[in-house]
Chain A
Amino acid sequence: MNTGLYKYILGIADNCLILGQRLGELCGHGPNLETDIACTNLSLDLLGQVRSYYQYAAKLKADDSTEDDIAFLRNEREYVNVLLVEQPNTDFAYVMGRQFLFDAFHLMFLKELQNSHDITLSAIAKKSIKEVSYHHRFSSDWVKRLGDGTEESHSKMQSAINDLWTYTDELFHLTEADEEMIKEGIGVDTPKFKDEYYNHLTDILEEATLTVPESKYFHKGGKLGIHSENMGFILSDLQYMQRTYPNMQW
């Protein structure tokens, strides 16, 4: 098996899985029906992408593993999503802030992944990019609405951005698998668009009348499997059935 590629795929897909799971928690609890429906759509898009990635990863493993084995049966250390996506749905400002900070990265990432030498990844990127463009439009619109809405929403949006900002740097960390795949022309050289990413955030945040955080301290660990305290709880939900009733078909 191409271990580097396999690990690389998980690095992309786990972000979508955990964010999709977080959005799934919201279903039925949003500020109104229209936003509920919209957030469920984001979750469905992400989980659809997850399935494409894991199905590909399962094929690479070539050992009867399925998409579900990969999604549900790893230990916490083996999930390599960034810390950003595991942050809780504290309030709607956090939900949209988290979404926006991720979507902006995700979109730039997929634009590059389209050019991957790996045809499967390139194809998944081409399909996902349409969905993610919409996510980005949706979340940045909301960041602007909440930032430039009422005093209350402004302060909530600002504090969400301040907190979540500290998780953005990790998006650009390169693992061994990342570096190996970049060398092979398969992976995306994310540091290349890091400046563009932060410039873009600045543009949107300024339009939203928000202050761009100046913090130079960033959290990291998720990409290496060292997660926040949230992760164990996310996985207890996610894996509940598969762990309680092992080796069954659903």
Chain B
Amino acid sequence: MKKKWPLWEIFVRSKNGLEHRHFGSLHAADAEMALENARDVYTRRNEGVSIWVVESKHITASNPENYGELFEPAQDKVYRHPTFYDLPDDVKHM
């Protein structure tokens, strides 16, 4: 079996001040090529000022089957949100 160009995940910062966002993926033989390809594929219309590339196999993802134990416990912790606290309307700047 011949070795294929691996898959890379592409993250692009649209402009300074914003975070890098996942834009999609592509194939490349190495990191430099992934950067060049990402530039040509995902920023043809001036969509970015900075690119991160990471080989897909290096991403560890949470498993949807564990959704319950990972994320549901946070749903009822309403005290983490400002609306949990009752204050009279007269109190300003808070």
Contact = CB atoms under 8 A, between A and B. Distances in A.
Interface of A: 32, 34, 37-38, 41, 137-138, 141, 145
Given A37-B41, A138-B36, 12 more contacts: A32-B5, A32-B27, A34-B26, A34-B33, A34-B40, A34-B41, A37-B37, A37-B40, A37-B44, A137-B36, A141-B33, A141-B36
B28 A34 contact: yes
B37 A145 contact: no
B3 to A, nearest CB: 11
A137 B40 CA distance: 13
A145 B29 contact: yes
B76 interface: no
A138 B28 CA distance: 13
A80 B28 CA distance: 38
Contact-residue bracket for chain B: 10 to 19
Contacts of B29: 145
Nearest to B41: A37
Contacts of B32: 141
A141 B33 CA distance: 9
A23 to B, nearest CB: 13
A145 B36 CA distance: 14
Interface of B: 5, 26-29, 32-33, 36-37, 40-41, 44
A34 B44 contact: no
B36 A38 contact: yes
Contacts of A32: 5, 27
A138 B39 CA distance: 12
Nearest to A44: B44
Nearest to A37: B40
Nearest to A149: B29
A37 B44 CA distance: 10
Contact of B40 (A41, A141, A145): A41
Interface centre among B5, B29, B37 (most CB of A within 10 A): B37
Contacts of B26: 34
Contacts of A41: 40, 44
